Protein backbone atom coordinates (compact mmCIF):
# COMPACT_ATOMS: atom_id res chain seq x y z
CA UNK A 1 0.00 0.00 0.00
CA UNK A 2 1.46 3.39 -0.92
CA UNK A 3 2.30 5.89 1.77
CA UNK A 4 -0.03 8.51 0.23
CA UNK A 5 -2.96 6.07 0.05
CA UNK A 6 -2.40 5.03 3.65
CA UNK A 7 -2.35 8.68 4.77
CA UNK A 8 -5.63 9.32 2.94
CA UNK A 9 -7.30 6.36 4.65
CA UNK A 10 -5.99 7.43 8.06
CA UNK A 11 -7.21 10.97 7.42
CA UNK A 12 -10.64 9.66 6.36
CA UNK A 13 -10.85 7.39 9.43
CA UNK A 14 -10.01 10.30 11.69
CA UNK A 15 -12.69 12.42 10.04
CA UNK A 16 -15.28 9.65 10.33
CA UNK A 17 -14.34 8.91 13.93
CA UNK A 18 -14.66 12.59 14.84
CA UNK A 19 -18.10 12.83 13.24
CA UNK A 20 -20.84 12.38 15.79
CA UNK A 21 -24.34 11.56 14.56
CA UNK A 22 -25.76 12.59 17.93
CA UNK A 23 -24.35 16.10 17.47
CA UNK A 24 -25.99 16.45 14.07
CA UNK A 25 -29.18 14.49 14.80
CA UNK A 26 -31.53 17.47 14.40
CA UNK A 27 -30.05 18.55 11.08
CA UNK A 28 -30.03 14.97 9.75
CA UNK A 29 -33.66 14.42 10.77
CA UNK A 30 -34.77 17.71 9.23
CA UNK A 31 -32.97 16.77 6.02
CA UNK A 32 -34.58 13.31 5.98
CA UNK A 33 -38.08 14.57 6.75
CA UNK A 34 -38.60 18.24 5.94
CA UNK A 35 -42.37 17.72 5.88
CA UNK A 36 -42.67 17.29 9.68
CA UNK A 37 -45.14 14.37 9.65
CA UNK A 38 -46.09 14.87 13.32
CA UNK A 39 -47.33 18.40 12.58
CA UNK A 40 -49.15 17.24 9.43
CA UNK A 41 -50.87 14.46 11.37
CA UNK A 42 -51.96 16.90 14.08
CA UNK A 43 -53.29 19.35 11.48
CA UNK A 44 -55.32 16.60 9.79
CA UNK A 45 -56.72 15.44 13.14
CA UNK A 46 -57.70 19.01 14.00
CA UNK A 47 -59.58 19.48 10.73
CA UNK A 48 -61.55 16.23 10.61
CA UNK A 49 -65.30 16.55 10.51
CA UNK A 50 -67.51 14.16 12.46
CA UNK A 51 -68.92 11.24 10.44
CA UNK A 52 -66.74 11.87 7.38
CA UNK A 53 -66.43 8.50 5.70
CA UNK A 54 -69.36 6.99 7.57
CA UNK A 55 -70.70 5.84 4.20
CA UNK A 56 -67.67 3.58 3.86
CA UNK A 57 -68.54 1.72 7.05
CA UNK A 58 -72.00 0.99 5.64
CA UNK A 59 -70.83 -0.58 2.36
CA UNK A 60 -71.12 -4.31 1.78
CA UNK A 61 -67.42 -4.46 0.88
CA UNK A 62 -66.40 -3.03 4.25
CA UNK A 63 -68.84 -5.16 6.23
CA UNK A 64 -67.67 -8.29 4.44
CA UNK A 65 -64.03 -7.39 5.06
CA UNK A 66 -64.77 -6.64 8.71
CA UNK A 67 -66.65 -9.92 9.19
CA UNK A 68 -63.68 -11.80 7.75
CA UNK A 69 -62.35 -12.27 11.26
CA UNK A 70 -59.27 -10.10 10.83
CA UNK A 71 -57.35 -12.59 8.73
CA UNK A 72 -53.70 -11.57 8.38
CA UNK A 73 -53.94 -11.64 4.61
CA UNK A 74 -57.11 -9.52 4.41
CA UNK A 75 -56.19 -5.98 3.46
CA UNK A 76 -58.63 -3.16 2.90
CA UNK A 77 -57.22 -0.72 0.38
CA UNK A 78 -58.85 2.69 0.08
CA UNK A 79 -57.95 4.40 -3.17
CA UNK A 80 -59.13 7.53 -4.93
CA UNK A 81 -58.02 10.64 -6.70
CA UNK A 82 -55.99 13.24 -4.79
CA UNK A 83 -58.16 15.60 -2.77
CA UNK A 84 -61.25 13.40 -2.44
CA UNK A 85 -60.92 13.02 1.33
CA UNK A 86 -59.18 9.68 1.97
CA UNK A 87 -56.95 11.27 4.60
CA UNK A 88 -59.90 12.52 6.62
CA UNK A 89 -61.81 9.23 6.87
CA UNK A 90 -62.02 8.15 10.51
What single string gives the DSSP state of each residue in 11-25? Answer: HHHHHHHH--TTTTH
pLDDT exceeds 60 at position 90: yes
Model confidence pLDDT, tens digit, residues 30-88: 777 677 888 888 998 898 888 888 888 898 888 888 887 656 667 778 889 998 888 88
pLDDT of 9 reads 57
Give the phi and the psi of residue 84 in degrees, each rounded to 5: -90, -5
> Domain segments of the chain: what residues?
1-34, 37-90
In terms of pLDDT, which residue wins out, 6 or 41?
Answer: 41
Q: Are 37 and 69 in contact (CB under 8 A)?
A: no
Task: Tell me the H-state helices in 1-90.
Answer: 3-18, 25-32, 37-47, 54-57, 60-67
Q: How many CB atoms lie within 10 A of CB 48?
A: 13
The residues, ordered by sequence, that sit 6+ positions from 76 with a Cβ below 8 Å of its Cβ are 62, 65
d(C-alpha 30, C-alpha 27), whole Å: 5
Amino acid sequence: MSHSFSNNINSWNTTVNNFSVADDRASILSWLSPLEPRLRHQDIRDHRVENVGEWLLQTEEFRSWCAGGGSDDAVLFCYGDPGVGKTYIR
